[in-house]
Structure 1
Amino acid sequence: MIHITFDRNEDGTIDSFTMTGHADSGPHGQDLVCAGASAVSFGTVNAVAEICGTEMEVEMNDNGGFLRCRVPDKLDRDTYEKVQLLLEGMLVSMKTMEDQYSRFICIES
């Protein structure tokens, strides 16, 4: 199962997210839940870089099964708000997958 945890600051904004595990919803290379979660998470990180002009702090396992991304400190207000909007959009997308595939993906926010 894929577990995704969104960690929030005291003001409710997203500080980081961590994805662990494997969906195992299909054979390797045909796992649609894994592909969907990967596409949404990496798409969000790439959108933050492209749209906001900032790189998230990224840790990942070369073999898959682990991704942690953290919002960098000291962003200007406009950039921070854009990053937050993209991350909240990611959360909505992941929850949509969880609604359909709760045996394979679990979200905590």
Structure 2
Amino acid sequence: MIEIKVDRDDKNKITAFSMSGHAASGPYGYDLVCAGASAVSFGAVNAVDALCEVDLDVELADEGGYLFCKVPGGLIEQTSGEVQLLLEGMLVSLQTIAEQYGDHITILD
């Protein structure tokens, strides 16, 4: 199962998120839940970099199955808001996947 954990500060802003595990919803290379969750999360990380010019602190496992991203502190308010919008959009997409495939993905927010 893929487990997604979202960390928030006292203002409800996303400060970090992690995604770990494997969906095991299909054969390796044909797992649609894994592919969808990976595309959404990596797409959001890449969007933050390309559109907001913010480098998230990213950790990956060499063999896959683990992604951790931390939002850097000290961002100006506008940039912080843009980063939050992209990460909240990512979360909505992941929740949509979880609604359909709850046996293979869970979100702790």
TM-score by length of 1: 0.99
For structure 2, the residue ranges without an aligned partner over 5 or more in a row are none
Q: Please say if 1:63 is aligned against 2:77.
A: no
Local SS of the residue matching 1:72: coil
CA distance in 2, matches of 1:22, 1:49: 25
Tell me by how many angstroms 1:61 deviates.
0.1
* Partner residue, 1:23: 23
* Partner residue, 1:7: 7
Q: Please say if 1:46 is aligned against 2:46.
A: yes
CA distance in 2, matches of 1:45, 1:14: 13
CA distance in 1, matches of 2:62, 2:35: 16
The letter for the 1-side match of 2:22 is: H
Tell me by how many angstroms 1:16 deviates.
0.5
What whole-Å deviation, never above 9, does each CA across 1:1-55 have from its counterpart, x for those lacking one?
A: 0000110001100000000100000000000000000000000000000110111
The letter for the 2-side match of 1:48 is: V
For structure 1, the residue ranges without an aligned partner over 5 or more in a row are none
CA distance in 2, matches of 1:72, 1:57: 7
Tell me by how many angstroms 1:73 deviates.
1.1
CA distance in 1, matches of 2:91, 2:21: 17
* Partner residue, 2:95: 95
RMSD between aligned residues: 0.5
Local SS of the residue matching 1:5: strand
TM-score by length of 2: 0.99
* Count of matched residue pairs: 109
